[in-house]
Amino acid sequence: MNIRCMIIDDEPLALKKLKRHLLKYPFMELSAACHSVEMARKHLESNEIDLIYVDINMPDVNGLDFIRSLENPPMAVFVTAYPEYAVESYKVNALDYLLKPYGSEDFNRTAEKVYKHWQLLQNQNSVNGHGENNVLYMKSDHRYLRVECDDIRFIEGQSEYLKVHLVSGESFLTHMTFRQISESLPDNFIQIHRSYIVNMKHVTSAERTLVILDDNTRLPVSESKKAALLQYMNSGR
């Protein structure tokens, strides 16, 4: 499930720039590009939105006031040419703000913050029995990869990176920690060693000091991780 986005700016060029940046990210889906708050309100009447990028200084309604007026406001990122609005934006629980003129690095910083927050929300929904949480978007090099959790066989720690090994036999590097990725993985992923997280769906057998995967890969089990592994196996899942 992608993040359903709305962008709002009364300036056509600014709106076009927002759209161009947003469409670079596969986890973002542009639902509407609005040149006024009135247009945005009409769209919200019949469409669910997860994220709004909104300019603060607009002639009809201030972007801050617009977000305040929503009964159940989605995630919000404010766009402004005035740094003094930054503090004010956080008073309405803004996820972030973009200071004009912004570039690709600025937008990328905001996009990463949005994605991490959205993943946390998805995790909470999954725990509460709502929605699905079986897809991750992982940054590799300068792009985001859409990965089905079931397609991950195991994850290997390599210095400052994680190497994600897929069922297809392919692998890629992502700049994350085990702690960060564990927050987004379902319960069938168990860390068995300081260097390995395994998808238990692909474990065919386990011995005292190692697990064997369905491609015959053998991975070590550390003494400190045995308890978590045994607890999962004894749970009958």
CATH of the domain at 194: 2.40.50.1020
Domain assignment of residue 30, yes or no? yes
Residue 164 has pLDDT above 50, yes or no: yes
Under a CB-based contact definition with an 8 Å cutoff, are residues 159 and 106 in contact? no
Domain that holds residue 86: 3-127
Q: Is residue 172 located within the same domain as residue 118?
A: no
Q: What's the structural domain count of the chain?
A: 2
- Burial label for 111, CB within 10 Å (0-12, 13-18, 19+), is buried
Residue 127 — pLDDT band, cuts 50, 70, 90?
very low
| Strand partners of residue 55 | 79
CATH of the domain at 14: 3.40.50.2300
How many other CB atoms sit within 10 Å of the CB of residue 224?
10
Domain assignment of residue 172, yes or no? yes
Q: Is residue 89 located within the same domain as residue 122?
A: yes
Q: Higher-confidence residue: 120 or 7?
A: 7
Three-class secondary structure assignment of 134-182: CEEEEEECCEEEEEEHHHEEEEEEECCEEEEEECCCCEEEECCCHHHHH
Under a CB-based contact definition with an 8 Å cutoff, are residues 96 and 52 in contact? no
Distance (Å, whole) CA 229 – CA 168: 25
Q: Is residue 103 located within the same domain as residue 207?
A: no
Q: Is residue 123 located within the same domain as residue 31?
A: yes
Domain assignment of residue 95, yes or no? yes
- 49-77, pLDDT tens digit by residue? 999 999 998 887 889 999 989 888 889 99
According to the model, what pLDDT value does residue 81 have? Answer: 87
According to the model, what pLDDT value does residue 108 have? Answer: 93
Q: Is residue 107 located within the same domain as residue 214?
A: no
Continuous segment of H or E residues that includes residue 67: helix 63-69
Q: Is residue 102 located within the same domain as residue 7?
A: yes
Backbone angles phi, psi at 58, to 5 degrees: -130, 150
Residue 177 — pLDDT band, cuts 50, 70, 90?
confident
Q: What is the mean pLDDT of residues 30-54?
A: 95
- 80-107, pLDDT tens digit by residue? 888 877 667 666 778 888 999 999 999 9
Domain assignment of residue 144, yes or no? no
Listed in sequence order, the residues at least 6 apart from 97 whose beta carbon sits closer than 8 Å to its beta carbon are 77, 78, 79, 80, 85, 86, 89
Distance (Å, whole) CA 65 – CA 90: 13
Q: Is residue 212 located within the same domain as residue 162?
A: yes
Q: Is residue 86 located within the same domain as residue 50?
A: yes
